[in-house]
Amino acid sequence: MRIISYNVNGIRAAMKKGFIDWLKTDPADIVCLQETKATKDDVDVKQLEALGFHHHWYSAQKKGYSGVAIFSKQKPDHIILGNGHKASDDEGRVIQMDFGDIRLINAYFPSGTSGEERQGFKYQWLDEFYTYLSKLQKKHPKIVLLGDYNIAHHEIDIHDPRGNKNSSGFLPEEREWMTKFLNSGWVDSFRVFHPEPHRYSWWSQRFPSVRLNNKGWRIDYICVTEALKKQLTDADIYPDVKHSDHCPVYIELK
């Protein structure tokens, strides 16, 4: 089973840049999107259905903002919209599915780049989500948690650690949260297979040359619980797929 996580930064914009043609290449069995910025009714879903995808959406109450979706070739056994935290659910940040004994969670973590208020919201969201996941792990030992985490964990995960030491997404508190999270029974799947530097999943759109010169951040993750580590057969990043300022990341599970 191949699973992709992809922040499309607006699915309608991505579709204009060849997103559907890319899906036709059969990149994965399950494709999880963040920042869809749309509802199901805004999109020509017949194109997805023609490719054999079941599709489930969880959109923000605010139009054109946030939102997550999962497209899967296999019909899920169970679908959960949100995670029961109102502020998060109002912004359409989490959608969950069960496939057999595996719980798949697609999450769009908040960004704190727009100011102190949103940074505060991000810290609150991280704390609530950590507690939520800790309880969930007791019921579901096998979990895949993927999405745009909006955190570069280590210096290796960002092109300019010194210059960004005070930037949201690389602040000490955020990085400490990531360490605490991974130490609580989770595995960063990409690093199981790729210890090398200069591997990123997001590049600022402010300067077009940034992606060309690979001055990026690795903020998109697929983490699995320890119980699933032995089932990992591959994980990687697709930097050449360009429908967004992010690129897709994937894992393969046996």
Catalytic residue among 6, 44, 132, 148: 148
Cβ(234)–Cβ(251) below 8 Å: yes
Question: CA–CA separation, 142 vs 123, rounded Å?
Answer: 26
172-182 and 116-139 are packed helices; what angle lies between their axes, rounded to 10 degrees?
0
- 188 is an active site residue: no
Which residue out of 6, 58, 108, 149 is catalytically annotated?
108
Say what the alpha-carbon torsion angle 189, 200, 72, 96 is, to the nearest 10 degrees.
Answer: 70
CB 112 within 8 A of CB 122: yes
| Strand pairing category for 186-188 and 30-34 | unpaired
The backbone torsions φ and ψ at residue 130, rounded to the nearest 5 degrees and listed phi first, read: -60, -45
Task: Check if 200 is active-site.
Answer: no
By annotation, the residues acting in catalysis are 108, 148
